[in-house]
Amino acid sequence: MLKDIIILLLVLASCFFFLVGTTGLIRLPDVFSRMHATTKSDTLGAGLALLALIVYKGFDPVSLKLLVVLIFILITNPVASHIIAKAAYYNQKDDKREDDHADI
C-alpha cells in the first residue's frame, strides 16, 4: 500500500511539472523564457516519471536500465537546451545586424 502511494505521488508530481512546462511553452513571450520553463520542468517531470517506474518495478535489471535513462536525460536535456539557446542568441544577433543595415 505504501509503495502504491509513493508511486501515485511521483506520477502526480510528474504530471504537474509536465503541465507547468507545457503552460510555460504556450504562455511565455520569447524563446529563452520558453526554453527555461520547458527544460527545467520537463527534466524534472521525466525524472519523477522514471523514478515512479523504478519504484514500481523494484530491484530488477529493468530498474537499472531506467536509472541509466534517467541519468542520460538529466545530462542531455540541459546541454541540448543550452545549445539551442546559444543558436537562438546568435540568430537574434544576426537579425539585429541586418535590421541595422536596412535603416542606412
Per-residue pLDDT tens over the stretch 7-40: 999 999 999 999 999 999 899 888 888 888 888 8
Angle made by CA atoms 62, 66, 68, in degrees to the nearest 5? 115
Distance between CA atoms of residues 11 and 68, nearest Å:
19
pLDDT score, position 47: 94
With a cut of 80, say whether residue 51 has pLDDT above it: yes
pLDDT score, position 101: 53
Residues in the chain: 104
Distance between CA atoms of residues 90 and 84, nearest Å:
10
Give the number of domains in the chain.
1
- The pTM of the full predicted model, rounded to 2 decimals, is 0.79
- Which domain, by its residues, includes 13? 2-102
Least confident interval from 3-12, 29-38, 42-51, 86-95: 86-95
Please give the average per-residue pLDDT across 64-77, as a whole number: 94
